[in-house]
Chain A
Amino acid sequence: MTGGPPPAQGLYDPRNEKDACGLGFIANIKGVRSNEIIRDGLQILANLDHRGAVGADPLIGDGAGCLIQIPDELFRHWAEGNGVSLPPPGDYAVAMCFLPRDAESREAAIARLERYVEVEGQILLGWRDVPVDPTGMSPTIAAAMPVIRQAIVARGERVRDQDAFERKLLTIRKQTQNPLNELAEKSHLPGLAEFYIPSFSSRTLIYKGLLLATQVGGFYRDLANPLTKSALALVHQRFSTNTFPSWKLAHPFRFIAHNGEINTVRGNVNWMNARRRTLESPLLGADLDKMWPLIPHGQSDTASLDNALELLVAGGYSLPHAVMLLIPEAWAGNTEMDPERRAFYEYHAALMEPWDGPAAIAFTDGRQIGATLDRNGLRPARFTVTDDDRVILASESGVLPIPEERILRKWRLQPGRMLLIDLEEGRIVEDEEIKARLAGAQPYGDWLNETQFKLEELPPAITGRRPDRAEGELGHIQKAFGYSEEDLKLFLAPMARMGDDPVGSMGTDTPIAVLSQRPKLLYDYFKQNFAQVTNPPIDPIREAMVMSLVSMIGPRPNLLGHHAGTHKRLEVSQPILTDEDLEKIRSIQDVLDGAFRTRTLDATWPVGGHGQALEAALQRLCWEATEAVLADSNVLILSDRAAGPDRVPIPAALATGAVHHHLIRQGLRMQTGLVVETGEAREVHHFCVLAGFGAEAINPYLAFETLDALARKGEVPASPEEVRRNYIKAAGKGLMKVMSKMGISTYQSYCGAQIFDALGLSSCLVKKYFTGTATPIEGVGLEEIAEEAARRHREAYARSGPETLPLGGAYAWRIGGEEHAWTPDTVADLQHAVRGEIPEKYKNFADAINERSRRLLTIRGLVELRPLGPPVPLDQVEPATEIVKRFATGAMSFGSISREAHTTLAVAMNRIGGRSNTGEGGEERDRFKPLANGDSMRSKIKQVASGRFGVTAEYLVNADDLQIKIAQGAKPGEGGQLPGHKVDRHIAAVRHSTPGVGLISPPPHHDIYSIEDLAQLIHDLKNINEAARISVKLVSEVGVGTVAAGVAKAMADHVTISGFEGGTGASPLTSLTHAGLPWEIGLAETQQTLVLNGLRSRICVQADGGLRTGRDVAVAAALGADEFGFATAPLIAAGCIMMRKCHLNTCPVGVATQDPLLRKRFTGQPEHVINYFFFVAEELRAIMASLGVKRLEQMIGRPELLDVKPAVEHWKAKGVDLGRLLHVGKTDAKVARWNSERQSHGLHKVFDRDLIEAAGPALAGGAPVLIERDVRNVHRTVGTMLSGEVARRHGHEGLKPDSITIRLRGTAGQSFGAFLAHGVTLELTGDANDYVGKGLSGGRIAVRQPPEARRDAGANIIVGNTVLYGAIAGEAYFGGVAGERFAVRNSGAVAVAEGAGDHACEYMTGGVVLLLGPVGRNFAAGMSGGIAYVWDSGEKLAAQCARAGVEIERIPPPGSSCGDGAPRPQAASVHDNGMGHPLRYDAERLRLLIERHLDATGSARAAELLRDWPNTCAHFVKIVPPEYRRALLAMDELAMEEEADPITVAAE
């Protein structure tokens, strides 16, 4: 176990491991050391226990640890006992060592460390055995525990001071550790690789290990030793997705503990290592050379970040400075930021790209301790300051019980902000001060003015315009670059017309590039990665403030140098260059007096050559690049302009990757910029691939030429300039969308980050040109890539080719175009088969889909089924009626498809015992009850997606499965949008929104930014509906198996692995085709990883996305699926004909439309769907019989049933190797390969059991009850199970108001009052954590400060982040400030707080929010409904508000409204919040809300406002989306008409 995860095998690769966690620290501000601090730290750790996870063995955690200051007394005691003379504190260091268990390796390790201590001139004072107590530890862990000893090293004579000593220690550690893996192999001492030094410092010491949070203190006896004293304790509890956590991977690291994930780590590590030749440090001098690689590959992201940080600190940066450099706040678009600070960030942007991703980082060097949040604030961090000089910071509030009267301040870390405690100065340094100090330390602004050049501002180049191509030439060159009609029709023209990445619908049913018979562009082999579970995607539109496309072209300054201020830099505001821009760069030498020299390298090769010629051309290109850089050219342009009849263009991605990695390997990459001038790139995905492999800017010249031609022909109605501008805008938007899918917010960090999986490229090719990219199934090499390019070229310059471009046929089927699974024949055969019950027609259909010789459609087409034994008679195979119970229909929302289509699927699935899925968007309540004929339209699977539309307590209790949709195959990592015109009154009703108002599903679930958050949501859902299976829907990508393992550990009962082929109602074409992998790969990886972890039996695995036939099911089962999801095929059975017009609402067969006329055309019947599933089941049975399998379980997870088809004759596919996919792991035969047991959710001990019992009489409809209890942060999801009970018995209407009142004291855990039902009131005195009132379903929540607290409520945080997410109805009053994203996606709740963080009221569609204090940035972004009031005496709101979609208005004085619609003191019912007409009675409504708030929380602020009422009223503003106003007015008008004409009403 100490060795960490098992080596890569099959599709499992340890580098995909992800983790997330809980972190915290406590420090004494004055630097007073004590053992209590450590004890408190350990208690914090124990109280964060639920943020960690356990694996298959509940005694094995994922690791935990504690960082403290060097406890001098402890070591002095040791020194005395051992006759060692210990120098004064600061002059000696302690190396905490995890030594190999194997004695021989241990000796070698010790010798190694001792040698480098000596070589570097330091003095080893001795070794101390660290006293440990393994009692209570899992035997597996105890057996693999390393030998833990500490080396005590004294400062050598020649070392100037403590800082220099620290640098020496780093040098020693790097030299000792860096080559360990190689040494272990070379010296045949595998144990040597286990040697690990958690800390080696004269200031800090780390005690960590593969321990449960509660075990750290007991295990390391030092920590309980009264001699061990520290002024700080930094603790961390890890939640890893896998169950092979290791001692090494536990946090804290040397400087940091981290809760989050660095998405760009691949690129960051590459860039760091690319500095080999440019990095110099006056402080480190020659020692720097001993430290390479600065960041070894194969470490966790946190370890890499820690390495970067320690380098920067060693190089002379102060700790906060280094942290700001690595994780800058969002500055590019922030006009509010102080100019000096902006200059500071902009200056540093050229030094290093951000380490991008969600992160809460606590850092310390023993003298200062602090914490910072990423720019988007995607991790929680709350802190408390006490009157006895303690600061406590943790992922949650309430982790250390402190009497309220002792607390001076409760606050939270805000996005991009830093908290720093300087123990030497003995004070807290606020964010403003730190940053102002650092920003003012150097004249950054002046430096920028002198050295930073913006391309836009440079004069145009003097070169003449390139002559237009001769008539007809354009066509040839377009064909040589693989242009098709579809490129023009579906990409270029729409991009130029609308300035948007084009949208399509349904899924991809074409073969992946490597299986296609036709030449594909190299881009098609790269599939975009995306964030799922372990970190959130970003909304690049609504949260544009954190996004930036700024790119720096050219050499980077020395990261550790002092002269960076004079280094010239070239900046572009976005990376797509027009021809004019490129010419500016080409001739930049003339303009900027020699600061830049540009060299253009030819990226083409002579016609007629094959793979070898291409290889030679790449070799030449790389050599030329080296030469150019060594000759001081510092901008390289890779250009395929020379392409023509005699020269073939090198695929631009290949040229880029080759040069980029070549220069990295040579350590020259930082000395030059890389610009790509190519005719090949034209759509967003192309730009992404080029950027991902190192292009700092791209000039797609042929795309511009093509656009010019289109403009000339009048096919795009705009001027050529406008067309270019639109196109660049569209490309930029698309790029941001792709970046944000992975949670990356800046182009600088996306550049070179290689956020792709290579699907169908040989690993040999990838290793050389796209180093570090995953390639799960092998595939083509240079030979085939050259052939593809040559074929395009031949076609282009052929003797008798037609003049027109090829059709393409990739998006819409065409004869002679790309192959599709769904063709006129397959659709017609399937429909005729199910309507006429004609087995022969189904057979025709299945044969065409399963066909493998003539056309290869899928990866599964490459395998053959291999019998397990002799065939069995068909009648012995389990009956179809059993098999169909494993089938489910895919998630399609009511809204994307019509009610007719939706209910047809539901009825069909209910009749056969399968499952249908609501999709995102709720379900009409009439469907919860069975029909008179015994049928049921109730979908067994209820989806919970990021928009939470219609997710009420009642909806949740009416489910057999609750599916958390993390991602969907067609557009993983993206949100969705239902435009207002599609929201008719039925859809609005079921989604609890307003007809005519558009609805946005955010890209992330705002309550899932990490795996422990997912565990929390699973816990919430399990609480409300204990009987339901909780499912998590993931999309296949490399690493999904690891995520699935995490999901299993997060206690999900079910996981869906969806293929990229899955359909959709609308998605950018970029995502539809280029994001995610086929399910075969993700499923196989999931199965392998789960089995390896011993987790497989606990969780049910479903495969989904492009399943069509019984054979597909057989392959999916063999690869590990228990259940099977089908979407497109049953939809086709019900009448869909693949129009691919879902996004236009014009579906001519009434499936994907809400148009009443078109809906009448729907002819599907449940029988059709049932027939389809039985055909599939019968086909499967026949296959099972032939394989000798009687029951499906026997073939689940049995890849040995699959054989790679012996003779693949495909010209490209012959290189595909499915060995890793079909890998049969060496596992215990006892380990189940299918879902054979249930998760243990530990729900017996939840807080609500007691509440339910106490509320018994009220639940039964009797007298109201009052319950009083104490509550702690470990009590999570309070009130939810009770609400489930209410909803089950009384539906959405719930109980009468205040039937159940629960009074609590203390700090409530996460998800306080989630889905709280109508009639339940939670009154909390104290504070609460994240997700309060999530999905509030009519209940009432009040949180107030304790009377004994002396703090100003307006300056104290009382509830955490993402409060009232997806709230449907009910009320909430918070007597203090709320965290970020207050009332995000609120649909109808009424809420009052005394201030809120960033992004408040984001995506809100209804309800009323009142904020009595200031709000953070990006207020009301994407808000399309509801109203908000903010106290804004300083008139700051206008700047804080995302003004694009909302209007800010003053409140008219009281009494200025008339007519009906006045608010009432009490909500009338769960359907009417009593707030009256949102467009009238503002002053009255405000007053009422403030009065209610006063009543609920005793707020001093409320009292104050009321005292001076009519005057204070004027300081409020109202925020209302114009779209909402319009919709309300339209409804008013309709109501008046109906009044005038009652007959219409009756007719409706």
Chain B
Amino acid sequence: MGKPTGFLEIERRDRDAAPVRERVKSWGEFLRDPGDEQVGGQAARCMDCGIPFCHSGCPVNNLIPDWNDLVYRQDWEAALERLHQTNNFPEFTGRICPAPCEAACTLNLADVPVTIKSIEREIADKGWREGWVRPQSARRGTGRRIAIVGSGPAGLACAQQLARAGHAPTVFEKSDRIGGLLRYGIPDFKLEKDSIDRRVHQMEIEGVIFRTGIHVGVDVTVERLMDDYDILVLAGGAELPRDLPVPGRDLDGVHFAMDFLVQQNRRNAGDAEEKAAPEGIISAAGKHVIVIGGGDTGSDCIGTSHRQDALSVTQLEIMPQPPLRENKALTWPNWPLKLRTSSSQEEGAEREFSVVTTELVGAGGAVTAIRCARAEMAAAADGRLVVQPVPGTDFEIKADLVLLAMGFTGPRREGAVDDSGVALTPQGNVGAAFGDYQTSNPRIFACGDMRRGQSLVVWAIREGRDCAARVDAYLAVEGKLRA
């Protein structure tokens, strides 16, 4: 299938990005549409492997060789159908997924991988442009009602799958807009938000009811929901940020990344400043910004800071700098540890590795600098390896705004989790087995970050879909028992 010798003849060519100087002036997406023909050629590089490693490298198990072939043959509509078979929201993953599929691509072993993510995005975007993405309403309803807590990718995927199976899902969102982390966590330059709106619209026609501004466990009790609904699905994400317990943490100008990012996203959504930043504006404009944490959220902070005209941005990572290149013989097809540069980092940021923050230094209640030391792995009292500062390596960096982007430790307890009383894992996530999704309460299921802890959007979609299937199966069995 495809073009057997495509990979030998065609070079990898990914989307072009707008030049840094240009793109930091705008909040919009900056990757350019390469056009059908180029994407078709890129798809021809796919070798239709006997074992498509990409297919299992991808958490939603996208049928990558299959739609690559269709794209190569310019049958975009069929490709879209194939893509939607495994992925409810390819326009999201086509933009923000780190693309483990490409790491797993067979071509990545001795060459450079197929531009899978880019092709995925093009299929989805073209589908929307051409009007091929239509609601798929169930032929008959089952009359079973499901309450879903959280409208992030997991909740949305779960809801859509359930609606298409004929059930009646209602999505509860504590915030004022649907989307969860997709909506307020991810900057617009990576994901413009009208793509969420059109999905919501599609899902509404398919029969999903969206209830925003309702914090389950706070505004409505779980008990009440359990009376009204057959099943409750917890898909509220892992929103508890990891904190930095060092002296000076309470200084002004030290914020969690999410507080910073949400403000900007609200602004971009058109909210007035008092609504966008009810607890005070956090701005990077004209400041020396320190981002602590080297992950995706950290990068989002960098990109946002640049667009707010920060004076400088420095990113601190506690782990040592990973190798520039992985040893593919020992890592492929797995996700390798290697030095990656995000588009935001590309826009300019000092990156420091092996740095541990020891103190936040302030003047007048506001942060002015950050005191650090080199980090090394050393055995703690209990024998575990932990990161510790190397004595005598202290140094200081000037800081006007410190953003903590050190990851998330688990779901928020207050609200649905506490109120439902479901058992938790030692890590503090909702306890439910992968593939099963049933919590200690048989009528309550959990999926996405709330169950697995902080992870990728694509995993959330996968869990949402799987969870819907489990719920459907549960209802089918239960239905038989009742009949």
Known: A489-B1, A799-B166, A1157-B8. A824 touches B63 (CB 8 A): no
Closest B residue, CB atoms, query A489: B1
Q: List 21 A-B contacts (CB under 8 A).
A: A799-B166, A800-B139, A800-B164, A804-B81, A812-B48, A812-B49, A822-B51, A824-B57, A825-B56, A827-B53, A832-B330, A836-B329, A1137-B51, A1139-B50, A1139-B106, A1141-B49, A1146-B5, A1150-B110, A1155-B8, A1157-B8, A1163-B329
Partner of A1139, one of B49, B57, B61, B334: B49
CB-defined interface of A812-824 with B at 8 Å, one 1/0 digit per residue?
1111100010111
Confirm or deny: B277 has a beta carbon within 8 angstroms of a beta carbon on chain A: no
B333 interfacial contact with A, CB 8 Å:
yes
Chain B residues near A836: list those with CB within 8 A.
329-330
- Nearest chain B CB to A306's CB is how many angstroms away? 51
Q: Annotate B328-339 by CB proximity to A: 1 below 8 A, 0 otherwise.
A: 011011100000
A835 at the A/B interface (Cβ < 8 Å)? yes
| Nearest chain B residue, comparing its CB with the CB of A1143 | B4
Q: Which of B49, B57, B332, B333 has the most CB of A within 10 A?
A: B49
Q: B50's contact among A813, A815, A835, by CB below 8 Å, is which?
A: A813
A1140 CB-CB contact with B under 8 Å: yes
Verify A802–B104 contact, CB threshold 8 A: no
| A-B pairs with lowest CB-CB distance, top 6 | A1140-B50, A1161-B110, A824-B56, A815-B61, A1138-B50, A1138-B51
Q: How far is the CB of B60 from chain A (nearest CB, A)?
A: 10
B7 at the A interface (CB under 8 A): yes
B271 at interface, CB cutoff 8 A: no
Contacts of A1140 in B (CB 8 A): 49-50
Whether A1144 sits at the interface, judged by CB under 8 Å, is yes
Within the complex, which residue of A804, A811, A822, A823 is in contact with B56, where a contact is CB–CB below 8 Å?
Answer: A823
CB distance from B265 to the nearest CB of A (A): 35
Please give the distance in Å from B383's CB to the nearest CB on chain A. 21
In the complex, chain A residues whose CB is within 8 Å of the CB of B165: 800
- Further 17 A-B residue pairs, CB within 8 A, beyond A812-B49, A828-B334, A1144-B4: A489-B1, A803-B81, A804-B81, A804-B82, A812-B52, A824-B56, A835-B330, A1138-B49, A1138-B50, A1138-B51, A1146-B7, A1148-B47, A1155-B8, A1161-B110, A1161-B111, A1163-B110, A1163-B329
Which of B1, B51, B111, B140 is close to A1148, meaning CB atoms less than 8 Å apart? Answer: B111
* CB-based contact A824/B333 at 8 Å: yes
CB distance from B321 to the nearest CB of A (A): 22
Q: Are A831 and B52 in contact (CB under 8 A)?
A: no
Chain B residues within 8 Å of A, Cβ to Cβ: 1, 4-5, 7-8, 47-53, 55-57, 61, 63, 65-66, 81-82, 85, 104, 106-107, 109-111, 138-140, 164-166, 329-330, 332-334
Q: Are B47 and A1141 in contact (CB under 8 A)?
A: yes
Per-residue B-contact encoding for A1110-1151, CB less than 8 Å = 1, 0 else: 000000000000000000000000000111110010101110
**Cα A157 to Cα B332 with chains together (Å):** 93
**A residues within 8 A CB of B55?**
813-815, 824
Q: When the two chains form their complex, are residues B4 and A831 in contact, meaning their CB atoms are under 8 A apart?
A: no
Task: Determine the chain B residues whose CB is within 8 A of the CB of A485 once the complex forms.
Answer: 66
A807 at the interface (CB under 8 A from B): yes
A1409 on the B face (CB < 8 A): no
Q: Which residue of B lies closest to A1155 (CB)?
A: B8
Bound: A813/B63 CA distance, A: 11
Roughly how many angstroms separate A815 CA and B4 CA in the complex, as a whole number? 23
Q: Which residues of B contact A814 (CB under 8 A)?
A: 52, 55, 63
Q: A1146 touching B85 by the CB < 8 A rule?
A: no
Min distance, Cβ B25 to any Cβ of chain A, angstroms: 42
A1141 & B110 in contact (Cβ 8 Å cutoff)? no
**Chain A residue at minimal CB-CB distance from B62:** A815
With both beta carbons as reference points, the residue of chain B lying nearest to A1157 in the complex is identified as B8
Given contacts A813-B51, A816-B61, contact A1149 B333 (CB under 8 A): no
B166 close to A800 (CB less than 8 A): yes
- Chain A residues closer than 8 Å to B47, beta-carbon distance: 1139, 1141, 1146, 1148
**Do most interface residues of chain A lie in helix, strand or loop, or is the interface mixed?**
loop
A832 to B49, CA, bound (A): 19
Query: Which residues of chain A are within 8 angstroms of B65 by Cβ–Cβ distance?
Result: 812
A799 contact from B140, B330, B332, Cβ within 8 A = B140
Q: How far is the CA of A824 from the CA of B330 in the complex (A)?
A: 14
Q: Which residues of B contact A815 (CB under 8 A)?
A: 55-56, 61
* In the complex, A1308 has a CB within 8 A of chain B: no
Q: B332 touching A1146 by the CB < 8 A rule?
A: no
In the bound assembly, the distance between CA atoms of A800 and B137 in angstroms comes to 10
| B51: A residues at CB distance < 8 A | 812-813, 820, 822-824, 827, 1137-1139
CA–CA, A828 and B140, complex, Å: 44
Complex contacts, B8 vs chain A, CB 8 Å: 1146, 1155, 1157-1158
A557, B449: Cα distance in complex, Å: 77
Nearest A residue (CB) for B1: A489
Nearest CB to that of A814 among chain B residues? B55
Q: Does A658 contact B (CB under 8 A)?
A: no
- For B334, list chain A residues within 8 Å (CB): 828
**A1146 close to B1 (CB less than 8 A):** no
Docked complex Cα distance between A357 and B108 (Å): 52
Q: When the two chains form the complex, which single residue of B1, B4, B81, B109 contacts A1149, counting CB atoms closer than 8 Å?
A: B109
B333 and A1141 within 8 A (CB): no
- Among B104, B111, B140, B329, the residue within 8 A (CB) of A831 is B329
Which residues does chain A contribute within 8 Å of B53, judged by CB atoms?
824, 827-828, 1137
How would residues 270 to 302 of chain A score, 1 for a CB under 8 Å from any chain B CB and 0 otherwise?
000000000000000000000000000000000
Q: Which of chain A's residues have a CB closer than 8 A to the CB of B333?
A: 824, 828
Q: A815-B55, A823-B56, A831-B329 are in contact. Are A1141 and B63 (CB under 8 A)?
A: no
Q: Any chain B CB within 8 A of the CB of A506?
A: yes
Q: Of the candidates B4, B106, B140, which one forms a contact with A1137 in the assembled complex, judged by CB atoms under 8 Å apart?
A: B106
A804 touches B85 (CB 8 A): yes
Give Cα distance in the complex from A1163 to B1, angstroms.
26
Q: A825 CA to B51 CA in the complex, in Å?
A: 10
Q: Which of A802, A824, A1158 has most B Cβ within 10 Å?
A: A824
Indicate if the CB atoms of B109 and A824 lie closer than 8 Å: no
> From B48, which residue of chain A is reached at the shortest CB distance?
A812
Q: Contacts of B140 on A, CB cut-off 8 Å?
A: 799
Question: Which A residues are in CB contact (< 8 Å) with B107?
Answer: 1148
Given A824-B51, A1137-B49, verify A1148-B110 contact (CB < 8 Å).
yes
What CA separation (Å) do A1523 and B4 show in the bound complex? 25
Q: Which residues of A contact B52 (CB under 8 A)?
A: 812-814
A828 to B53, CA, bound (A): 9
Say whether A1141 contacts B4, CB under 8 Å: yes
**A828 — which chain B residues lie within 8 A by C-beta?**
53, 332-334
CB pair B104–A824 under 8 Å, yes or no, is yes
Residues of A within 8 A of B56 (CB): 815, 823-825
Contacts of A1157 in B (CB 8 A): 8
Q: Which residues of A contact B332 (CB under 8 A)?
A: 828
Tell me, in angstroms, the Cα distance from A1158 to B106 when the chains sit together: 14
Which residues of B have CB within 8 Å of A1155?
A: 8
Looking at B8, B65, B107, B111, which has the most chain A CB atoms within 10 Å of its CB?
Answer: B8
**A1360 CB to nearest B CB, Å:** 46
Of all chain A residues, which has the CB nearest B69?
A489
Residues of A within 8 A of B49 (CB): 812, 1137-1141
Residue of B nearest to A1168 (CB): B329
| Inter-chain contact B50/A506, CB cutoff 8 Å | yes
What is the distance, in angstroms, from A766's C-beta to the closest C-beta of chain B? 34
A1147-1181 CB contact bits vs B (8 Å, 1 = yes)? Answer: 01110000101100101000000000000000000
Interface centre among B110, B166, B332 (most CB of A within 10 A): B110
Closest to B3 in A: A1146
Interchain CA distance A799-B472 in the complex, whole Å: 12
A533-554 CB mask vs B (1 if < 8 Å, else 0) is 0000000000000000000000
Q: Provide the bound-state CA to CA distance between A852 and B116, in Å.
A: 35
- A1161 partner residues in chain B, CB cutoff 8 A: 110-111
How many Å from the CB of B208 to the closest CB on chain A?
Answer: 16
A1140, closest chain B residue (CB) = B50
> In the complex, A226→B106 CA distance in Å?
83
